[in-house]
Structure formats: structure tokens, C-alpha cells
Amino acid sequence: MPHAQSVSNHHRESAGDSMAFRVIFLISFGLLFVLALLARLVGSDWRSLLPGAEGSTSMVQGVKTAVYTLMSQII
């Protein structure tokens, strides 16, 4: 029975890590999206503000790339 408890505990830990990843991703995406949107409204080059978004063609893809770049530095 100890093996079953170990597997169950591991599953709970990985589910918690997955939820934490999603929360960090969503918060980061929201903040960087607002930053890119404001920069676009002002007329600034938003791609230069976001790390990793220099080669992206759409704003959503650029923000998504920037979030993954940021998260790789955090985690």
C-alpha cells in the first residue's frame, strides 16, 4: 500500500505544479498583453519591450512568446 500512497502524493504534487504554472502564465500573459496594447496605442514598438517577441507577427503570439521566455527565467 505505501506505493499507492506515493503515486497518489506525486499526482497531487504534479497537479498543484500544473495549477501554479497556469496561474503564473495567465497573470503574466495579462500584464504583458496590457503593456503591449498600451504601447501599440501610443505608437511605440511593442516588440522591443517584450523579451523574445522581436520576430513575432501577431501581438498575441508575441505576448505568448514573451511569457514563455519570462517563465523560463522564473522557474
- Cβ proximity of 51 and 35 under 8 Å: no
Distance CA 43, CA 13 (A): 44
Residue 7: band (very low, low, confident or very high) from pLDDT cuts 50, 70, 90: very low
- CA dist., res. 64 & res. 70, Å (int): 10
Mean pLDDT lowest among 4-8, 28-32, 68-72 = 4-8
Which tops the pLDDT comparison, 10 or 50?
50
Predicted TM-score of the model (pTM): 0.68
Mean predicted confidence (pLDDT) in 21-29: 90
Distance CA 69, CA 72 (A): 5
Provide the residue type at 2 as one letter.
Answer: P
